[in-house]
Amino acid sequence: MNVYWTRNWEKIVGFAFFLPSLIAIIIFVYGFIGWSGLVSVSNWKRGAEPDYTISGFDSYARLFGIGEKYAAGIDAKRFKTGMRNVVGFTILFIVSCIVIGFTLAAILDRHVIGEGFFRSVFLFPMAISFIVTGLTWRWLFTPGDSNIGSTGINLLLQNFGLSFFNPNWSTDMVYSIPADSGLGQLLINIGLGWFASPTFGLSLGVITLTIAAAWQLSGYTMALYLAGMRGIPEDLREAARVDGANEWQIYRHIIIPLLKPITLSVIIILAHLSLKIYDLVVAMGGEGQGFVKDMPALNMWDTTFASARFAQGAAISMVLLILISLLIIPYLISSLRQEEER
Amino acid sequence: MTTNTQITRTSNLPKIIHYAKEFLFWFVLIATFLFSIFPLYWMFITSLKPRTDVEMTPPTFMPFVDYQPTLDNYVDVFLKDRAGAGFAEADQEATRKISEFPTTLTNSVIITTVTTILAVLMGTLAAYAFSRFQIKGEADMRFFILSTRMLPPVVVLIPVFLMFNQPGELVNNALQNIPISFIQAFGESIKDFSLRNSYIGITLLYITFGLPFVVWMMKGFFDEIPKEYEEAAMMDGYSRLEAIWKIVLPEAFPAMLATSVFVVITAWNEFVFVLLLNRDNATTVPPFLFSILGYGQVEWGRTAATSVLFLIPIIVFTFLARNHLLRGVTFGAVRR
C-alpha cells in the first residue's frame, strides 16, 4: 500500500466521519437562519400561506417603532417592554448566579465535611426541566388572597414580621426610579431622564423569574468555579500566605484574577440561556398583565404561531439572534484563537 | 506543610473570630442547602397530600405528622380529567380514561435514548476526524459547529415549523423541475410525507442541536490521547477503522458517557420544539406537564405528582452518572 493512497484514504475517512454532522448543521442551523431572515423581510403579513415576495424592512420598523405609523403601535410597545425585561433579567440573573456560585465554590473548596454531598445537591437543580422549576416557583410565589390569607413566600415574609410587604408577584407594577423624587429630578436635569422612566424599571415578575432561574443554575456556576479552583496549585496560596496575605487578599488578588476565563465562560453560558428564555416564563404564568414578564422569545412565539404573523415573528427572532451573536461570536473567536496558540 | 501554616495562622487569630468565621461558613452553606432543597421537598410532599390538604393555609410540611400520605395524586396522573364535581367517589374514578402520561413518558424515554446514542456516536466520529486528520479550513468549520451551540431555538422555529410540516411537498416541488419521469414519480410518492408528530423529526432536530456540544467535548478529549496510541496498533496490522473500533472507542467510552450526561438532560427537558411540532403525537412529558396546568385554577396535587414522576428517571440517571456529572457539565467551559 503506497503512502499516497493511504493519505487519500485517510482524508476520505476523515471527511466521511464528520460529513453527517456538517450537513446536519449546515441545513438545520445556517440554512434555517437564512430562511428566517428571508421570512422577516418578506411580505408574509398574516395567515398560514407563505408569501416570499420581498417587502423590505417593514417588520423591523414596526418592531422598533420607527416612523409615525408605527411609533405608538402595540408591537413596538411589547417589544420595548420585552427588551427591558430581558436585559434586567439577564443582568440580575448572572450577578446572583456568580455571587452564590463563587461563594459556594470557595466554601466547598476548603474541603468541608460532606463536600461531595453538598456539591451534588447544589448541582442537581440544573438537571431539572425549566418547566418543573417554573411550576414550583410559580406556586411558591402565589400570593394568596383576603379569603385564605397569604400563601407561599408571602406567608414566609409575614411570619418574619414583614407583612407590610405583601405583593402580588405576578401582576404588580414596574418598580423604577420615581420621576418626582430627588434622584429622578437629578437624572432628568442632567439629561438622563430615560433612567427615571418606567422604561428603565424592573417588575416584580422579572424578579421572581430571576429567583427561579438562579435557583436552577447557581449550582452549575458553583461547579464551574470549583473545577477552576481545583486547577489552582496550592503553592500559589501558600506563597501568598508566607508573604503575609490574608484569606481575603488571596481571593482578591490571586484567585479571582486567575478565574477570569471561567467568569467569562459563566457569563456567556448564562447570558445565552437567559436571552433565549422561554420555558421558565411560560411555566410561571406567561407574559402577565401589561407584559410585566414578557420576553422576546415569548413575543416571537405569540406573534408567529398564535397570530400567524410570520414576517413580524421572524423579525423578532432575527433581532434576538443578533443580540446573542454580539455576545458569543467575539467569545468564540477569542477562545478558538487561544486554543490554537497552545 | 499546609496544615502547619494553617495551624499557626488560626492560632494567631483570637478564638472567637475563628468560631465566628466557622459559624458564618456553615450558616451560608446550610442556608443555600435549604434554598436548593426546599422547592423539591415541597413538590414531593405535596404530591403525597390528600386532595383536601393540598392548598391548606397555613401549609403543612411533615408527612405522617401533619397528614397521612396517600397516592391519590399519583392515581390522578394516570387518569384523565375528572368527570364531575364529586371526584372523590370511586365509581367516577372507574369511568375516567387513562391519561396521556404513560404515552408521553414512553415517548420521552425513546426520544432521549435514540438522540443520545446517535448524537454521541456521530459527534465522537466527527471529533475524532477533527482531532486526527488534516481537514481543509478546519478552524472555520469548528467555528461554524461551535457557534451553533448557543443558537436560540426561536431563530430556527419558523423554518423548522414550515419544513417539518411538509418536507415531502418541498422536495417534490424541487423534483418536478427535473424532466426525468421516475424522479418526478418519486417526488409524487413522497408528497404527503410529514415530519411533524413523528419520532424521526424531533429526534433529528435534537441530534443536530446536541452535536456541536459532543464535537466540542470529544475533540478536547481526543487531543489528549496521544496519536501514537493507535499508530502503534496500526503498525501491528490493524487498519485505521479497526484501530478506532478496538482501541480508540473503548478508551473514549468514559468521556462519551460524560458527554452524554448533558445531551440526556437537554433532550429530556426540551420544551419549545415538541410543543410546536409534536402536539398531537409523539409528545414528551414537558408539554404534557404544561397542558395539565390548564387555565385559571391549577390542580397542584396532580401537577406535583406528575413532576415527581418526570424527575425520577433524571434523578436515577444523574445518580448513576454522578462521577461523570461534574466533568460532563464543566468540560468545554473549563479548559485547562
Residue A151 has phi, psi (to 5 degrees) of -130, 165
Q: What is the pTM of this model?
A: 0.86
Q: Beta strand A202-203 with A144-145: parallel, antiparallel or unpaired? A: unpaired
pLDDT higher at B75 or A177 = B75
The lowest-confidence range among A48-62, A194-208, A304-318 is A194-208
Alpha helices in B148-227 (DSSP H): 153-165, 167-175, 181-189, 199-224
Interface contact flag, A100 B32, Cβ < 8 Å: yes
pLDDT at B312 over 80: yes
Q: Which residue of A has its CA nearest to B120?
A: A21
Cα–chain center distance at A301: 17
Cα–chain center distance at B201: 17
Cα dihedral across residues A153, A156, A160, A161: positive or negative: positive
Chain A residues within 8 A of B329 when measuring between CB atoms: 123, 126, 220, 223
Count interface pairs A-B at CB distance under 8 A: 260
- Provide mean pLDDT across the span A139-151: 77
Q: Which fold does the domain B100-329 belong to in CATH? A: MetI-like fold (1.10.3720)
pLDDT of residue A196: 67
Interface contact flag, A10 B240, Cβ < 8 Å: yes
- Provide mean pLDDT across the span A281-295: 86
pLDDT of residue A5: 61
Question: A147 in the Ramachandran plot: left (φ > 0), alpha (ψ -120 to 50) or beta?
Answer: alpha
Contacts of A265 (CB under 8 A, 6+ apart): A224, B333, B334
- A162: buried, middle or exposed (CB in 10 Å: 19+, 13-18, 0-12)? exposed
Given CB atoms, is A120 within the 8 Å cutoff of chain B? yes
pLDDT of residue B336: 42
Q: Beta strand A144-145 with A174-175: parallel, antiparallel or unpaired? A: unpaired
Given CB atoms, is A156 within the 8 Å cutoff of chain B? no
C-alpha atoms less than 13 angstroms from C-alpha of A211 in its C-beta half-sphere = 17
What distance, in Å, lies between the first and last C-alpha atoms of chain B? 26
Interface of A with B in 40-59 (CB under 8 A): 50
Tell me the shortest Cα–Cα distance from B298 to chain A, in angstroms: 9
Interface contact flag, B25 A110, Cβ < 8 Å: yes
Q: Which of A150, A297, A310 sits opposite B158 (nearest CB)?
A: A310
Alpha helices in A231-259 (DSSP H): 234-242, 247-250, 256-258
ipTM of the complex: 0.84
Q: Which of A132, A219, A278 sits opposite B272 (nearest CB)?
A: A278
Chain B residues within 8 A of A241 when measuring between CB atoms: 5, 9
Cis before B58 (ω within 30): yes
DSSP letter, residue B224:
H
Cell output for A271: 447570558
pLDDT of residue B294: 66
Please state the domain extents for chain B: 2-94, 100-329
Work out the angle at residue A214's Cα, subtended by the Cα atoms of residues A79 and A210, and round it to the nearest 5 degrees. 35
Chain A residues within 8 A of B155 when measuring between CB atoms: 32-33, 36, 317-318, 320-321
One DSSP character per residue, B281-318 reads: SS--HHHHHHHTT-SSS--HHHHHHHHHHHHHHHHHHH
Per-residue pLDDT band for B310 (boundaries 50, 70, 90) equals: very high
pLDDT of residue B84: 44
pLDDT at A339 over 90: no
pLDDT at B82 over 60: no
pLDDT of residue B203: 94
pLDDT of residue A157: 80
pLDDT at A161 over 80: no
Per-residue pLDDT band for A319 (boundaries 50, 70, 90) equals: very high
pLDDT of residue B83: 43
Interface contact flag, B139 A297, Cβ < 8 Å: no
For chain B, give the percent of residues with pLDDT over 90: 23
Q: Nearest to residue B307, comparing CAs of B34, B42, B114?
A: B42
- Provide mean pLDDT across the span B34-46: 92
pLDDT at A342 over 70: no
- Provide mean pLDDT across the span B6-34: 77
- Find out whether B81 and B100 touch, Cβ atoms under 8 Å: no
Cell output for A15: 471527511
Q: Nearest to residue A150, comparing CAs of B58, B39, B296?
A: B58
**A250-257, Cβ contacts within 8 angstroms, sequence gap of 24 or more:** A251/A106, A255/A106, A255/A229
pLDDT of residue B43: 92
Given CB atoms, is A341 within the 8 Å cutoff of chain B? no
Q: Which of A121, A228, A300 sits opposite B36 (nearest CB)?
A: A121
pLDDT at A4 over 70: no
Tell me the shortest Cα–Cα distance from B91 to chain A, in angstroms: 31
Given CB atoms, is A301 within the 8 Å cutoff of chain B? yes
Chain A residues within 8 A of B152 when measuring between CB atoms: 272, 275-276, 297, 317, 320-321, 324
**Summary mean pLDDT of chain B:** 81
Q: Which of B55, B123, B163 sits opposite A21 (nearest CB)?
A: B123
**A229-263 pLDDT, tens per residue?**
988 888 888 898 898 888 888 999 889 999 988 89
pLDDT of residue B1: 41
**Summary mean pLDDT of chain A:** 84
pLDDT of residue B296: 61
Chain A residues within 8 A of B276 when measuring between CB atoms: 305
Contacts of A218 (CB under 8 A, 6+ apart): A96, A97, A100, A101, A104, A122
Contacts of B248 (CB under 8 A, 6+ apart): B128, B222, B225, B229, B230
**A63-97 pLDDT, tens per residue?**
888 887 887 788 888 998 899 899 999 999 999 99
Interface contact flag, B122 A35, Cβ < 8 Å: no
Interface contact flag, B310 A120, Cβ < 8 Å: no
**A102-120 pLDDT, tens per residue?**
999 999 988 778 888 888 8
Per-residue pLDDT band for B332 (boundaries 50, 70, 90) equals: low
pLDDT higher at B216 or A317 = A317
pLDDT of residue B44: 93
Alpha-carbon dihedral angle through residues B185, B186, B191, B194, given to the nearest 10 degrees: 170
pLDDT of residue A1: 47
**B219-251 pLDDT, tens per residue?**
888 888 888 877 888 888 888 778 888 888 888
Q: Which of A137, A234, A310 sits opposite B2 (nearest CB)?
A: A234
**B106-159 pLDDT, tens per residue?**
999 999 999 999 999 988 988 888 888 776 666 777 677 777 777 788 888 898
Q: Which residue of B has its CA nearest to A321?
A: B155
Given CB atoms, is A32 within the 8 Å cutoff of chain B? yes
Interface contact flag, B2 A238, Cβ < 8 Å: yes
- Provide mean pLDDT across the span A149-161: 78
**Residue B28, amino acid:** V
Q: Which of B58, B241, B268 sits opposite A155 (nearest CB)?
A: B58
